[in-house]
Structure 1
Amino acid sequence: MNPRYILYIHLVINDIILLTMFTLIQVLSYIVFTLNVSLCMVMVYIGVTASTNNPLTLAVMAVECYIAVCFPLRHSRICTVRKTYVAMGIIWLLSSLSTLPDIFVAVATESLEFFQSRVFCLSNTIFRHQYFKEKRNILDNAFLVLVWLTLFYTYIRILSAAQAASTDAKKARNTVLLHGFQLLLCMLSYVYNLIMEGLALLFPKGILAIRFSVSIFIHVLPRLISPVIYGLRDKTFRKYLKTLFCTTNAETHPQKT
Structure 2
Amino acid sequence: MALSQVLYLIAACRLILTYPVCGFLTLLASLTTTISPLTLLVMSLERYVAVCYPLRHTTIITIRNTGVAIFVIWALGSLNILTRVLLLLEFPFKDLENLQMKDFCSDVAMLLGPRSNDYDRAFICVLFVSAGVAISFSYFGVIIAARSASTDKASARKARNTLLLHLVQLCLILFSTIFSPLLMALSGILTRIVFVRFYTCLYICVSLFPRCLSSLIYGIRDQTIRPVLMQHLCCRLTPKV
- Structure 2 counterparts to residues 1-257 of structure 1, below 5 A: 19-31=1-13, 33-112=15-94, 117-119=99-101, 120-163=104-147, 164=149, 166-203=153-190, 205=192, 209=196, 211-238=199-226, 241=228
CA contact (8 A) 1:37 1:116 kept: no
SS of the aligned residue for 1:125 comes to coil
Q: Give the whole-Å Cα distance in 2 for the aligned partners of 1:213 and 1:97.
A: 32
Q: Give the whole-Å Cα distance in 2 for the aligned partners of 1:74 and 1:114.
A: 59
Q: Give the whole-Å Cα distance in 2 for the aligned partners of 1:97 and 1:206.
A: 40
CA contact (8 A) 1:159 1:169 kept: yes
CA shift for structure 1 position 146: 0.8
Q: Give the whole-Å Cα distance in 1 for the aligned partners of 2:140 and 2:162.
A: 13
Moved more, 49-58 or 196-205: 196-205
CA contact (8 A) 2:108 2:180 kept: no
SS of the aligned residue for 2:90 comes to helix
CA shift for structure 1 position 109: 2.7
How large is the RMSD of aligned CA atoms in angstroms?
2.6
CA pair 103-151 structure 1, distance change in 2 beyond 3 A:
same
* TM, length-normalised to structure 1: 0.78
Q: Give the whole-Å Cα distance in 2 for the aligned partners of 1:184 and 1:147.
A: 10
Q: Give the whole-Å Cα distance in 2 for the aligned partners of 1:126 and 1:207.
A: 26
Give percent identity, aligned residues only: 27
CA pair 142-228 structure 1, distance change in 2 beyond 3 A:
same
Q: What 5-or-longer segments of structure 2 have no aligned partner?
A: 237-241
Q: What's the CA shift string for 1:26-85, capped at 9, x where partnerless? A: 223344620121111111011111011111111100111111111111111111011101
CA contact (8 A) 2:39 2:73 kept: yes
CA contact (8 A) 1:49 1:99 kept: yes
